[in-house]
């Protein structure tokens, strides 16, 4: 990875940045489609980072350079909420505008963005960018802000300026993660606890199917709507106004109303309610160092995503089944579905053979290349350099 300080010096024509910060990408171990239903998720930060380097300017201009796109973006402070560009500019304008809404920021700045979180691969490079940038700017402008407020500001920036109605998980874990752990996030309480990821003899692999998630955005919106409809139906049927989200629904109540409830709504609710339970069971399994149980829960999650939430595709099912038929302890699709990657729990001594076997089998079955990666649970966002701000 190229040093962000050098990129900054070369591209922005200054000697050294005032502030350097970084934020990681993430893999969500279990708890899929639960975050926007006020439930539980269990992500870990990965050992891949987005880095930003910033220096204040003595005029109103913001000049930003991204090494990934090898491209500059400029605008004047305060940003006047321009129409969406559809590009990375929206993330920078979004974070800056959200900060400026909290009080006047003053001058502009020079910004270089680098790092090695793969873009658009379901590892949440977008949150890594938002959080690393917000962290640097909060420091540079001397803004006092709680961690949770910063997380919410980044999420809001993505909602309002990019138009992606993401849950809060990605930004939360990017900021709060701790090395060697997964983070159990209770979205309703906006509270978390760390779960040591000490599965000796086990490796976590992701396998990117290479299937682009073309349906993902529209399907995501449909699923969100279905979940809201399910909540409304259950509120009426169970006569429990205390049900505000699927988080508040009990499995036995869902079973009871199964035949009365519209099938699709019941399926969606069933996934979310049982997935929340699986997250908590997975935490128990990790705390018991029980890799087999942890893996089995991932596989159960996949079946639920496939059959009840209906967001899988045959390529992802193939990857999961292949793992289960070989040495894998369990696997599931990760991310929104309709493409992207799967996560596999594999005995460490089998990892190389597994990686080779699954890529070969996938190529033979789908005439397409699958890419295996291995990530370790890394720490959350941090300031790498701070020489005082302007
Ligand atoms: P994901 O978050 O899963 O990687 P998204 O589509 O949500 O996928 O976010 C990817 C987008 O975030 C990119 O297309 C780009 O606009 C922005 N982005 C992420 N990392 C960078 C970076 N290093 N430089 C510029 N833009 C970035
Ligand atoms: Mg994203």
Whole-number Å distance, alpha carbon 259 to ligand 2 midpoint, is 37
Residues 168 and 214 in one domain: no
What lines the ligand 1 site, CB under 6 Å?
Answer: 50, 66, 68-69, 87-88, 91, 113, 115, 119-126, 129, 164
Backbone φ and ψ of 359, nearest 5° = -70, -40
> What's the CA angle centered on 150, arms 146 and 156, to 5 degrees?
140
Ligand 1: residue whose CA is nearest its atom 18: 126
Residues 18 and 160 in one domain: yes
With a CB cutoff of 8 Å and minimum separation 6, the contacts of 16 are 5, 8, 9, 55, 387
- Per-residue confidence (pLDDT) for residue 390, from 0 to 100: 38
43: three-class secondary structure by DSSP: strand
- pLDDT band at residue 1 using 50, 70 and 90 as cut-offs: low
193: three-class secondary structure by DSSP: strand
Q: Considering the entire predicted model, what is its pTM? A: 0.95
Average pLDDT, integer, range 94-105: 92
- Per-residue confidence (pLDDT) for residue 214, from 0 to 100: 75
Whole-number Å distance, alpha carbon 352 to ligand 1 midpoint, is 30
Ligand 1: residue whose CA is nearest its atom 20: 125
- Residue percentage of the chain with pLDDT more than 70: 99
The terminus-to-terminus CA distance of the chain in angstroms comes to 29
Residues 382 and 304 in one domain: no
Question: Could you list the active site residues?
Answer: 170
Average pLDDT, integer, range 286-311: 97
What is the span of the domain harbouring residue 10?
4-196+378-386
Q: CB–CB of 20/51 below 8 Å?
A: yes
Q: What is the CATH number of the domain that holds 326?
A: 3.30.70.890
Residue 133 pLDDT greater than 80, yes or no: yes
Average pLDDT, integer, range 137-156: 96
Number of structural domains in the chain: 2
Q: Using the atom order of ligand 1, give the atom closest to the CA of residue 88.
A: 16
Residue 298 pLDDT greater than 50, yes or no: yes
Residue 339 pLDDT greater than 80, yes or no: yes
HSE-CB of 169 using CA atoms within 13 angstroms: 33
Q: Which residue has the higher pLDDT, 322 or 217?
A: 322
Q: Using the atom order of ligand 1, give the atom closest to the CA of residue 125.
A: 4
In tens, the pLDDT along 15-29 reads: 789 999 999 999 999
- Per-residue confidence (pLDDT) for residue 389, from 0 to 100: 42
- Per-residue confidence (pLDDT) for residue 58, from 0 to 100: 93
CB atoms within 10 A of CB 82: 12
- Per-residue confidence (pLDDT) for residue 27, from 0 to 100: 97
Residues 182 and 206 in one domain: no
Ligand 1: residue whose CA is nearest its atom 15: 88
- Per-residue confidence (pLDDT) for residue 388, from 0 to 100: 53
Q: What is the largest CA-CA distance in the chain?
A: 69
Helical (H) or strand (E) element with 218: helix 216-238
Tokens for 165, please give them. Answer: 């109605």
Q: Using the atom order of ligand 1, give the atom closest to the CA of residue 114.
A: 23
Average pLDDT, integer, range 298-311: 98
Residues 44 and 168 in one domain: yes
With a CB cutoff of 8 Å and minimum separation 6, the contacts of 33 are 223, 227, 271, 272, 275, 305, 309, 311, 336
Residues 382 and 359 in one domain: no
Residues 35 and 151 in one domain: yes
Q: What is the mean pLDDT of the chain?
A: 94
Cα torsion 239, 241, 247, 250: sign: negative
In tens, the pLDDT along 160-198 reads: 999 888 889 999 999 999 999 999 999 999 999 999 998
Q: Using the atom order of ligand 1, give the atom closest to the CA of residue 122.
A: 3
Whole-number Å distance, alpha carbon 296 to ligand 1 midpoint, is 32
Please name which ligand lies nearest the alpha carbon of 113. 1
Site to probe by mutation for ligand 1, drawn from 43, 64, 70, 88 as the one with most ligand atoms within 8 Å of Cβ, is: 88
Residue 217 pLDDT greater than 90, yes or no: no
Place of tokens 């906006």: 190
Residues 258 and 292 in one domain: yes
Separation between Cα atoms, residue 230 and residue 245, nearest integer Å: 9
Residues 221 and 103 in one domain: no
In tens, the pLDDT along 341-362 reads: 999 999 999 999 999 999 999 9
Ligand 1: residue whose CA is nearest its atom 27: 88
Separation between Cα atoms, residue 232 and residue 234, nearest integer Å: 5
In tens, the pLDDT along 243-277 reads: 999 999 999 999 999 999 999 999 999 999 999 99
Q: What is the CATH number of the domain that holds 120?
A: 3.30.230.10
Please name which ligand lies nearest the alpha carbon of 49. 1
Residues 166 and 212 in one domain: no
Residues 166 and 234 in one domain: no
Average pLDDT, integer, range 114-122: 90
Residues 172 and 24 in one domain: yes
Residue 220 pLDDT greater than 90, yes or no: no
Average pLDDT, integer, range 65-78: 96
Whole-number Å distance, alpha carbon 123 to ligand 2 midpoint, is 7
Separation between Cα atoms, residue 369 and residue 87, nearest integer Å: 27
- pLDDT band at residue 215 using 50, 70 and 90 as cut-offs: confident
Q: Name the nearest CA neighbour of 111 among 154, 55, 60.
A: 55
Please name which ligand lies nearest the alpha carbon of 213. 1
In tens, the pLDDT along 48-62 reads: 999 999 999 999 999
Whole-number Å distance, alpha carbon 264 to ligand 2 midpoint, is 27
């Amino acid at each position: 990875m190229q040093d962000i300080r050098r990129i900054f010096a070369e591209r922005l024509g200054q000697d050294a940045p005032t502030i350097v910060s970084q934020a990681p990408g993430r893999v969500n171990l279990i708890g899929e489609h639960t975050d926007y239903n006020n439930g539980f998720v269990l992500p870990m930060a990965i050992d891949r980072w987005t880095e930003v380097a910033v220096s204040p300017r003595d005029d109103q201009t913001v000049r930003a350079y991204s090494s990934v796109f090898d491209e500059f973006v400029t605008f004047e402070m305060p940003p006047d909420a321009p129409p969406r560009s559809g590009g990375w500019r929206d993330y920078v304008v979004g974070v800056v505008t959200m900060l400026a809404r909290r009080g006047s920021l003053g001058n502009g700045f020079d910004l270089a963005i680098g790092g090695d979180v793969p873009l658009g691969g379901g590892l949440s490079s977008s949150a890594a960018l938002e959080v690393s940038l917000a962290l640097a700017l909060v420091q540079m402008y001397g803004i006092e802000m709680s961690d949770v407020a910063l997380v919410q500001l980044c999420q809001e920036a993505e909602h309002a300026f990019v138009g992606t109605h993401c849950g809060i998980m990605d930004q939360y874990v990017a900021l709060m993660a701790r090395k060697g752990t997964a983070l159990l996030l209770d979205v309703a309480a906006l509270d978390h606890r760390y779960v040591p990821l000490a599965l000796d003899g086990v490796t976590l692999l992701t396998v990117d199917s290479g299937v682009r998630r073309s349906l993902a955005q529209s399907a995501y919106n449909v699923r969100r709507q279905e979940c809201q409809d399910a909540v409304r139906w259950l509120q009426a049927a169970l006569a429990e106004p205390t049900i505000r989200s699927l988080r508040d629904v009990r499995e036995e109540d869902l079973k009871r109303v199964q035949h009365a409830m519209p099938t699709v709504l019941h399926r969606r609710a069933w996934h979310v309610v049982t997935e929340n339970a699986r997250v908590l069971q997975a935490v128990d399994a990790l705390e018991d160092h029980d890799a087999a149980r942890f893996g089995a829960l991932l596989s159960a999650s996949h079946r639920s995503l496939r059959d009840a939430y209906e967001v899988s595709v045959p390529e992802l099912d193939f990857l999961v089944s292949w793992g289960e038929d070989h040495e894998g302890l369990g696997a599931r699709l990760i991310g929104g579905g309709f493409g992207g990657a799967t996560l596999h729990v594999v005995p460490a001594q089998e990892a190389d053979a597994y990686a080779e076997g699954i890529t070969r089998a996938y190529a033979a079955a789908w005439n397409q290349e699958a890419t295996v990666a291995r990530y370790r649970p890394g720490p959350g966002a941090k300031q790498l350099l701070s020489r005082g701000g302007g």
